[in-house]
Amino acid sequence: MPDLGEKDSRPSWVPVKKNPEFACSVMGGIDSNINSVTEEKIIPAVAVKSFPLRRRYTAEELVKGVSEGDRMMLSQAITLIESNAPKDFDKAQRVLQALLPRTGNALRIGITGVPGAGKSTFIEAFGQMLCSSGHRVAVLAVDPTSSITGGSILGDKTRMQMLSREPNCFIRPSPAKGTLGGVARKSRETMLLCEASGCDVILVETVGVGQSETTVRSMVDFFMLIVLTGAGDDLQGIKKGIMELADAIVVNKADGDNLNRALVAQGEYERMVEFIRPATEGWKTHAYCCSAIKKAGLKELWEVMQAFSQVTKKSGVFKQRRQKQVLSWVHSMIDEHLHNLFYNDNLIKGRMPAVMQSVLNSVISPSQAVTELIRAFDMDRAAVKHFEDISRSTHKK
């Protein structure tokens, strides 16, 4: 191969002389329409088109689309709700406020359990059964967030391949990163948007760790705990506080060789709940068996949920729980707002490193550090308000 100089960018396997019989050719670049070997002009079969950026819908268009049950518009509205950009907050709240009268008509079901209990498999089988019965289902799958990288796989939808094909089902995976164990304000607002689009059953799957169960309990009507066989003795089961939140305990994978063990586990959990105060006033928690793979016991569980809805609505507990959920939502939003207000304050950002270093050097105690920072925050806010008052009085004059 002769030396062709530095300007020749052809690989060594490209022949120096033109050879139409050579199997390969090298293009000069993606914008070039000349074959670098034969020097023939290439006429593209289809002209390359430039695609515009995705259109941003107005609040009115989103409200109309969600109200009509448009899945694409529902996804766009949820994306707007999940946005952390300050410019999207007002628009998102306008959309939510307009759709609020259409919410509150769905049965909200929370599902939790240890990893490997079969939550995703259960949700897929249960959701398919509901869709075949004419229900419109929304699945909000909260995916664990890595404490190291801060990322989430969001792979729950891929584990529900059959359910994701159902036209009457909408699946939305979301990361657990956030306040209150991963299920924060945005998850609640996503649930309301799904209800506004016509979904009458909302399934919320938790990550099963931390405070997520307590948070989901505060935003759903019926809370289900999925367990496995061989969970331990009665005392160990009672010590797990999650059982105090459950309206039903479901032993999954009750099939094949595991059927007898599942029935034994059901009896053990049935005895455990005798020592626990019911999670819902006027409702007795029981243990059940099911097989998500064999689709056994799913109809019976749906009948239990319907009976729960009827009993609690008749007694007024259902309405009281919904009212408590709204108030809990307000308090959690206040906590979130104050948290962000404090840590985003410029004065606090400037003083925080020095105060933290003083704590590490044992110059001041943690309690003194908190007192100093809160006092500085209060003084800063008071000074800002003082200058605003002076500016308004001067403007009036």
Q: Give per-residue pLDDT as tens, 17-28.
A: 666 666 665 555
pLDDT at 240: 57
Weakest-pLDDT range from 149-163, 324-338, 354-368? 149-163
Q: What is the DSSP pairing of strand 286-289 with strand 222-227?
A: unpaired
Band the pLDDT of 312: cuts 50, 70, 90: very high
Radius of gyration in angstroms for the set of CA atoms belonging to the chain, rounded to a whole number:
29
What average pLDDT score do residues 6-34 get?
A: 59
* pLDDT surpasses 50 at 306: yes
Band the pLDDT of 39: cuts 50, 70, 90: low
Band the pLDDT of 55: cuts 50, 70, 90: confident
Band the pLDDT of 336: cuts 50, 70, 90: confident
**How far apart, in whole angstroms, are the C-alpha atoms of residue 238 and residue 260?**
22
Band the pLDDT of 7: cuts 50, 70, 90: low
Is-contact 205 141, C-beta < 8 A?
yes
* pLDDT surpasses 80 at 370: yes
What average pLDDT score do residues 332-338 get?
A: 83
What average pLDDT score do residues 309-324 get?
A: 94
Going by C-alpha positions, the residue among 112, 71, 111, 76 that lies closest to residue 95 is 76
Q: 103-332 — its CATH code?
A: 3.40.50.300
What average pLDDT score do residues 135-148 get?
A: 73
What value does the mean pLDDT of the chain take? 80
Which secondary structure element, helix H or strand E, spans residue 175, and what is its range?
strand 169-175
Band the pLDDT of 116: cuts 50, 70, 90: confident
- Please state the φ and ψ torsions of residue 177, each to the nearest 5 degrees: -60, 130
Greatest CA span in the chain, whole angstroms? 93
Report if pTM > 0.85.
Answer: no
- Please state the φ and ψ torsions of residue 103, each to the nearest 5 degrees: -100, 170
Band the pLDDT of 165: cuts 50, 70, 90: confident
At what angle are helices 317-343 and 346-360 packed, to 10 degrees? 80
Band the pLDDT of 320: cuts 50, 70, 90: very high
pLDDT at 374: 92
What average pLDDT score do residues 129-149 get?
A: 77
For the stretch 337-372, what's the b/e string if a residue is b when 16 or more beta carbons lie within 10 angstroms of its beta carbon? Answer: eeeeeeeebeebeebbeebeeeeeeeeeeeeebeee
Instruction: Taking the CA atoms of 319, 325, 328 and 330 in sequence, report the sign of the dihedral they define.
Output: negative
Instruction: Give the angle subtended at the CA of 66 by the CAs of 306 and 51, to the nearest 5°.
Output: 140
pLDDT at 197: 95
Q: What share of the chain is helix, strand, coil (3-state, %, to 5)?
A: 50, 10, 40
* pLDDT surpasses 70 at 110: yes
pLDDT at 322: 93
What average pLDDT score do residues 362-389 get?
A: 84
Highest mean pLDDT among 27-41, 47-61, 330-344: 330-344
Going by the DSSP 8-state scheme, the letter that residue 170 receives in this structure is E
Band the pLDDT of 50: cuts 50, 70, 90: low
pLDDT at 335: 85
pLDDT: which is higher, 225 or 329: 225
Going by C-alpha positions, the residue among 184, 220, 195 that lies closest to residue 100 is 195
* pLDDT surpasses 80 at 288: yes
Over residues 185-202, the pLDDT tens digits come to: 678 889 999 999 999 999
pLDDT at 15: 65
Weakest-pLDDT range from 16-30, 55-69, 168-182? 16-30
* pLDDT surpasses 50 at 2: no
